[in-house]
Structure 1
Amino acid sequence: MSHSFVYSILGKVFCNTRQSILFRSCQLLYWPFFLQDPGKRSLTCVEFAEKAAFRMHLMWSNIVVDIFLGNLFGIVLWYSAETCCLWVSSCVNDITDHCLRTSIWLMGNPAGFKLNTELAGVLGMISLNGIQIWSTLWAFMSFLFIHFLKGLAIFGIFFGLTTAAALIIDIISIATIHVLTLHLFLSLLYSSQIQTVAALWRLFRGQKWNPLRQRLDSYDYTVEQHVVGSLLFTPILLLLPTTSAFYIFFSSLHTAVSFICFVIGVTISIIRATPYSKIFIWLKKKQRFPSGIWFEVAPCKCIETGAENDGYKSTRKLLDNSRASGKSTILVSFLRSNHLNLGEVVCPHYGQIYGAFSKSSIISSAYSLLTGTRYPFLPPPPIRTVRRSTVLFHI
């Protein structure tokens, strides 16, 4: 095979790792552009100068924190690689033995449901053979796992925690490829049965789906078509529960794996989107983040009444007493400002992460899961792109 073909295959298999390394490389290459003078506008607009300074400090703070967390993770993983290897191998064996191979119970009467014995036996043997083949490959390649853990530690030390997490997502996807394959096979079979049952049901109702107008039109079927439809409808409908049992089992496993990868992806997005420079400045000097102003009126010198200056009522009482006694009081107004709390400073940077949980995406995923089509599980939030001059950089 040519080198370009091998590189393209590796790029598709380790797509998350490749994107993470590209992201870090673009950060390091684009850093000099942030050090340039923001221009004359910063001299006349305080808000623009403030935003330019925060944007300049946002990148280096993200890189420093990511590398620091990656070094902690990498050093701990490097010195405990053998222990982690044994623990992961035992977990994989337990999952394979107690979870995946338990699909043999689907070949009987799962939860008291009477399934088709022949179809359940065929689907069960296909599932068990696929699991056994992948388990054999894992046993032959298990000696390389210790080297993978050390490579993961090196990735974390040099590229940061986010790159190591992206590599973990790719490895999880590779390690569970047999679950994905069985899920795709059963979803194809399940969706075909669902579509066939729906088409035959429209045949009995005298309707036909019009793909051009995306609607149901009336249609006169012949007697022969009704007879053939009846002969096909009965066995397909009776075999549907057997296929559904296997489809639900492997869809649940695939959903669990996808959810784990999704959580890791969201964690990567949170680490990259967190404004660490703003957090450090907020902890040191909250006055840099005002949220409103107000005036506090107070007398310059207290009089004999002994009342404390505790707000508007106290000041009003001092004025009334001074007028009654004939003495004058000098009032001083102080300009005060409210400050943003830490949540109000950080939450605006997580807008795109919240956008991944849109109602439409959740509904489409649920509909695809019920109909048997390959549903796109909620992906990690997209990375914002900022164009400055002629350089395109992910931020």
Structure 2
Amino acid sequence: MVLKIFFPTCCNTADSGLVVGRWIPGQDSAVVLAVIHYPFIPAQVKNYLSEIQSQSQVDLTVLGSWSLPKAGQEGMDSFLKDLSTIFPHSRWLQLSREIGKRGFACRVVHGAGESPGGETDQIVFVHYDQRKVTLSQLHPIQEEGATEGSSELREVFHTVARSGPLFQLDRYDEGPLKLTHWQSEGREGSILVELFKQASVPLCVLLTWLVSLWRWLCGLRILNIWPVQFISSKLSTCVQAAHRTHHFQTVFTTKKATSHMEFMRKANIFVSFLVDVALGLLLVSWLYRENRLSLLANTLVPVADRVAKELQELLEWLMGAPAGLKMNRALDQVLGRFFLYHIHLWISYIRLMSPFIEMILWYVGLSACLGLTFALSVLSDIVALLTFHIYCFYVYGARLYCLKIYGLSSLWRLFRGKKWNVLRQRVDSCSYDLDQLFIGTLLFTILLFLLPTTALYYLVFTLLRVVVVMFQGLLHLTIDLINSFPLFAMGLRLCRSYRLAEGVKFRVLCEEPGTPLHLMMEINPLKCSSVLQHYRTPTYSCYPRDSWVALCKKLFMGQLIYPWKHKTTKTD
């Protein structure tokens, strides 16, 4: 039988005293948490452990004694051995270390007396960094209170992490007991942390009230009427504002995080917001220097005129013989003049708005103070407004093309003696008379010969629309990256890799003759890809999307592609 003793490295040079820890249930292992120094009163030790046990919910007990010979403590070993009769135990560990040796000696004393060594108990010491184990989180994360099937290693991490109240007593505190543990030299930065906690509570209450006021204003009845609600759901700026409001409500709540994932989610959102605002302020400082907004406004109108002129030349090319293709002359002229009229309206609109563009950009640039994501959302909405005529062309072409495709498919079923059953949503057999077949053949021929002209316009404007959607998609991907990237978790992984543990590894620390085997437990950090997978913050774009096959099918059938629509999933 192998007895494993997990021993903290901070206690290697502790003064002689009692070893406090926990026996892992179901495992032949013990976790040492602290050493209580001599002198002490056994009754005070029992009362202190019972108090700590009620606070930490960890079954703490005195595991045995620890002896490190020093001058003036010659009779300490015999005194510590006699303490086994005072504290209740099933096994009593007598740990001792000699000056100049790295290894420990250990004897296990059972309730009925001393057990014979060698065959019965083979002891292995596993040394661990108590600070790292206390602050680390072992993955995969288990739900709070889930102990079924827990491994020995997970029980060790769980025991050390839950023993926080035991580590609050340091050597500077006045009390009847003196302990050695990872914080016994003093808790670093504790005063600053406590001051920050005390100051954050009223600030969070104020911010929570402001967020609630903002949500109340957004929930007014006048803002929930159909036109306002429809437009706000299509504007990226409104969607991002709603998303940030939800984030603020999560971060600024005064409720303490009850789990590791909840704490990491709040920390990631808070750090992401700070970085977002910092990038936005840098953008503002760049825009409002050297009169860059005026230069941008003066460039925007010529660019819009240039795009409109290029579209006009493209339509004139389509109204001729594009690439030598023979088009239906009448339909080609009707579609070309229809789209040219829209371009004329768009140019007139741009000329009307040109005197106010610089002022609009000046106020729009201030939105970057709320964060780079707001600036990118406003840019996406500006691009959508400036290319609204392209969207209209795409909708007109897609609807006309879709009408002809569905008409041809319906008439093709007529030739095969079939029809679409609307009630049962299937194709059934059907008999047609001669007049119906004649009218169907005539309509099929007309639609078939008009299809190339319509398909060419649809193809050209779909490509233009895809270019605009790809640019907006790049902006949305940048916004999504800033909103969802776990900056706090990634910072922990890079700066304090032990905080996020994927496992452990062991190396031989000491193998001296006459002493048990000593191993050193080191923490394996979580991979960066796993950090992104576990701690990525869900955003408004994290919904199931259409596959590429479904997208190509929609484009071929002429169905409209809306980048802001997502498939909904039903959850039980």
TM-score range, shorter-chain basis?
A: 0.7 to 0.9
Query: Shift of the alpha carbon at 1:215?
Result: 1.8
Give the Cα separation in 1 of the matches to 2:313 and 2:231: 26
Unmatched 5+ residue regions in structure 2?
1-220
Q: CA deviation at 1:365?
A: 2.5
Provide the residue aligned with 1:143 in structure 2: 355
Are positions 1:114 and 2:326 aligned together? yes
Contact 1:11 / 1:18 at 8 angstroms: preserved in 2? no
Name the residue aligned to 1:171.
382
Instruction: Encode CA deviations 1:351-393: one digit per residue, 9 max, x unaligned.
Output: 86896574x44333222211112233375899xxxxxxxxxxx
Q: Secondary structure at the match of 1:208?
A: strand
Instruction: Tell me the equivalent position of 1:258.
Output: 469
Distance 1:156 1:8 in 2: 29
* TM superposition shift of 1:299: 4.4
- Match of 1:45? none
Partner of 1:220: 431
Shift of 1:233: 1.7
* 8 Å Cα contact 1:368/1:374 also seen in 2: yes
**Structure 1 residues 8 and 85, CA gap change in structure 2 (3 angstroms):** farther
What whole-Å deviation, never above 9, does each CA across 1:245-269 have from its counterpart, x for those lacking one?
0011111111221222222122211
Which one of the candidate residues 53, 77, 82 is aligned to 2:263?
Answer: 53
Stretch deviating more after TM superposition (331-340 or 185-194): 331-340
Structure 2 counterpart of 1:23, one-letter code: H
Alignment match, 2:494: 283
Deviation at 1:99, TM superposition (A): 4.1
Kindly report which structure 2 residues correspond to 1:226-265, keeping only aligned pairs within 5 A, or say none: 226-265=437-476
In structure 1, what is the Cα distance between the partners aligned to 2:266 and 2:561?
40
* Aligned counterpart in structure 2 of residue 32 of structure 1, from 242, 249, 252: 252
Partner residue of 1:369 out of 535, 547, 555? 555
Structure 2 vs 1, CA of residues 340 and 381 (structure 1 numbering), >3 Å: closer, same or farther? farther
Mapped partners of 2:494, 2:223: distance in 1? 51
| Aligned twin of 2:294 | 82
**1:368–1:153 CA distance, 2 compared to 1 (3 A):** same
What does residue 320 of structure 1 align with?
none
- Decide whether the 8 Å contact of 2:543 with 2:566 is kept in 1: yes
Structure 1 residues 89-121: Cα deviation after superposition (integer angstroms, max 9, x where no partner) = 333233222245312111122222211111111
CA distance in 2, matches of 1:12, 1:4: 13
Shift in Å, 1:221: 0.9
Residue 72 (structure 1) aligned to one of 267, 278, 282: 282
Deviation at 1:130, TM superposition (A): 0.5
Instruction: Report the TM-score, using the length of structure 1 for normalisation.
Output: 0.78
Structure-2 change in CA distance of 1:219 and 1:56 (3 Å): closer
Superposed CA deviations along residues 264-305 of structure 1, whole A, max 9, x for unmatched, are: 12221111111222222223211111111121124457xxxx
Aligned counterpart, 1:390: none
Partner residue of 2:529 out of 343, 367, 387? 343
Give the match's secondary structure for 1:333: strand
SS of aligned partner of 1:36:
coil
Q: Post-superposition shift, 1:350?
A: 4.6
Kept after mapping to 2: 8 A contact 1:78/1:149? no
Structure 1 unaligned blocks of 5 or more: 43-47, 302-326, 383-395
Cα distance between partner residues in 2 of 1:12 and 1:147 = 27
* 1:266–1:380 CA contact under 8 A, matched in 2: no
Identity %: 26
Q: Which of the numbers 405, 413, 433 marks the counterpart of 1:202?
A: 413
Cα contact 2:484–2:537 (8 A) shared by 1 = no
Secondary structure (helix, strand or coil) at the match of 1:293 reads strand
Counterpart CA distance in 2 for 1:31 and 1:274 is 16
Report 1 or 2 for greater relative contact order, CA contacts < 8 Å, sequence distance ≥ 6: 1
- Between the aligned partners of 1:357 and 1:11, the Cα distance in structure 2 is 23
Query: C-alpha distance in 2, partners of 1:89/1:183?
Result: 23
Q: Using the alignment, how far apart are the partners of 1:248 and 1:167 within structure 2?
A: 29
Cα distance in 1 for residues equivalent to 2:236 and 2:564 = 15
Given that 1:362 and 1:378 are in contact with CA atoms closer than 8 Å, whether structure 2 keeps it comes out as no
Q: Deviations over 1:159-178 (max 9, x none)?
A: 11111211222222222221
Please say if residues 223 and 229 of structure 2, whose CA atoms lie closer than 8 Å, have aligned partners that are also in contact.
no
For 1:110, the aligned partner's letter is P
Secondary structure of the structure 2 residue equivalent to 1:332: strand
Give, in angstroms, the shift of residue 238 of structure 1.
Answer: 0.6
Q: Deviations over 1:144-193 (max 9, x none)?
A: 22122222221011x11111211222222222221111211121211111
Inter-CA distance 200–56: structure 2 relative to 1 (3 Å threshold): closer
Once the two structures are overlaid, the 10-residue window that deviates more, 85-94 or 106-115, is: 85-94
Larger % of helix: which? 1
Larger deviation, residues 334-343 vs 117-126:
334-343
1:126 to 338, 344, 354: 338
Amino acid at match of 2:270: W
Larger proportion of strand: 2
Structure 2 counterpart SS, 1:197: helix
Per-residue CA distance 1:201-232 (angstroms, 9 max, x = gap):
11111111111222221111111111112222
Taking the aligned partners of 1:85 and 1:213, their CA distance within structure 2 comes to 57
**Displacement of 1:10:** 5.3
Larger radius of gyration: 2
Residues 285 and 263 of structure 1: is their aligned pair in 2 closer, same or farther, counting only changes over 3 Å?
same
Q: Distance in 2 between matches of 1:165 and 1:380?
A: 21
Which of 236, 239, 242 pairs up with 1:22? Answer: 242
Residue 31 and residue 356 in structure 1: after superposition, are their counterparts in 2 closer, same or farther (change >3 A)?
closer
AA at the equivalent of 2:346:
W
1:7-18 alignment runs, 5 A limit: 9=227, 12-14=230-232, 15-18=235-238
Question: Secondary structure at the residue paired with 2:298?
Answer: helix
Deviation >6 Å, runs of 4+: 5-8, 327-330
Contact 1:355–1:381 under 8 Å retained in 2:
no
Q: Supply the RMSD in Å over aligned alpha carbons.
A: 2.9
Distance 1:70 1:342, change over 3 A: same
Determine the structure 2 residue equivalent to 1:389. Answer: none
Distance (Å, rounded) in 2 between the aligned partners of 1:17 and 1:300 = 65
The TM-score normalised by the length of structure 2 is 0.55
SS in 2 for 1:258: helix
